[in-house]
Structure 1
Amino acid sequence: MLNLGDTMPNIKADSTIGPIELFDYFGSNWGILFSHPKDFTPVCTTELGRLAQLAESFEKRGVKIVGLSVDTVQDHKEWTKDIEAYAKAPVKFPLLADPNGDIARSLGLLDKDSADTLTVRGVFIVSPNRKIRATICYPTSAGRNFDEILRVVDSLQFTDARPDTVTPVGWKSGDEVIVKPGCPSTADTKVLQVPSGKEYLRFTK
């Protein structure tokens, strides 16, 4: 599987909206490429349904989304009707066809423990410079939390704009952030006193 800091490959494939070249599709935006094990399966339907419900939230953050599995375009299109019926929301993002598993294999997304050709539940968050900024990989048995992926996007975009900060556990937009070690305190910095006496827990608005 690709690592943080790697350049995302410029994937070319057929999709539910026609042929796609990944870099053209992402344009100057942030991008998310996610994989799901298989069309017409229950956990995947709930996942893509939630992602359909969150589509406008990702759009507001300038994030383009594309999905991938070892299925055909026709299967994707038929399955999309089930997703929309479940989620009561339109599927606005394209799904890439990868019937031979070539793309999934090149990205390290095939489930090696499965007797079938299944893709794991992988996520690549890609910045506008095509660098992979975050990766998530779940087994086929556990559905992901796309609200958490949205939160990670918020954190990445915020800390890119404020490189003197990092975000603490469970951080959400509007919460206090941490002053990064080695960076100077600001006027409203609060230092948490700890038994070690080290002043490394510095919070700011």
Structure 2
Amino acid sequence: MTELPATAASMPRINEPAPDFTAKTTHGERKLSDYRGQWLILFSHPADFTPVCTTEFMGFARHADEFKAMNTELLGLSIDSNYAHIAWVRSIKEKFGVEIPFPIIEDISMTVAGAYGMVHPGASDTQAVRATFIIDPDGMLRAMVYYPMSNGRSIAEFVRLMKALQTSDTNKVATPEGWQPGQDVIVPPPQTAPAAETRASEGYNTVDWYFSTRKL
């Protein structure tokens, strides 16, 4: 059996505790436990001073206040030194007029990248792919999304996903494709045959016993 490289041997899983870390960042040392009681979006990029990553970081910066209003912190990461991060952030401010308000992890050892499965040998052995992890206030991993090196993420989609996750948690509902705040949500389907029989009379917008929606 072929043995996987250490950086690819394990992958984090949704609805399990997010891998713990303590790391040096552009804003000082950060630990996963620092974010207890808050949501955290941890995202990696292949390298500093690269064009696609620059657009993504500016996108996260432009939405930072919106994330903050949702009790959500941002934390970047790449396999670059802190000095490279600082120089890149300063360059973005100087050349593009955008200030990066969130910390960036220095991960030259690939410790955090390895724990979170950010290094995919098929893409690169020495760079992290565009991975995004949403961690809830209890330290549980709630969502993760991977993008290829060549294509930038939609930051607006992560804003939407955060709103959807928080709505689901608060109201014990699911959300349909492309859901936006103010739209109907999905009621969990009945779990027994008798409950399925009575679903149509419960006051929801019921298309079939397993598919019911309601307003919040």
User: TM-score under structure 2 normalisation?
Assistant: 0.85
User: Unmatched 5+ residue regions in structure 2?
Assistant: 1-10, 192-198
Q: How far does the alpha carbon of each residue in 1:164-189 deviate from its partner, in whole angstroms, 9 at most, with x for none? A: x2100100111111111128679752
Matches within 5 A, 1:26-175: 26-85=35-94, 88-115=97-124, 117-163=126-172, 165-175=173-183
Q: Secondary structure at the match of 1:104?
A: helix
Check the 8 A contact 1:12/1:22 in 2, yes or no: yes
One-letter identity of the residue aligned with 2:181: S
How far has the Cα of 1:149 moved from its partner?
Answer: 0.9
User: Unmatched 5+ residue regions in structure 1?
Assistant: 193-197
Structure 1 position 12 matched with structure 2 position 3: no
Change (3 A) 1:161 1:78: same
User: TM-score under structure 1 normalisation?
Assistant: 0.89
Aligned residues: 198
How far has the Cα of 1:138 moved from its partner?
Answer: 0.9
Alignment partner, residue 182 of structure 1: 190
Check the 8 A contact 2:189/2:209 in 1, yes or no: no
Change (3 A) 1:157 1:150: same
- Runs of 4 or more, structure 1, over 4 Å off, are 183-188
Within 2, Cα distance between the matches of 1:111 and 1:123?
14
Q: How far does the alpha carbon of each residue in 1:26-57 deviate from its partner, in whole angstroms, 9 at most, with x for none? A: 13111111111100001000001100000000
Q: Once superposed, what is the RMSD of the aligned Cα atoms?
A: 1.9
Alignment partner, residue 210 of structure 2: 200
Identity %: 34
One-letter identity of the residue aligned with 2:17: T
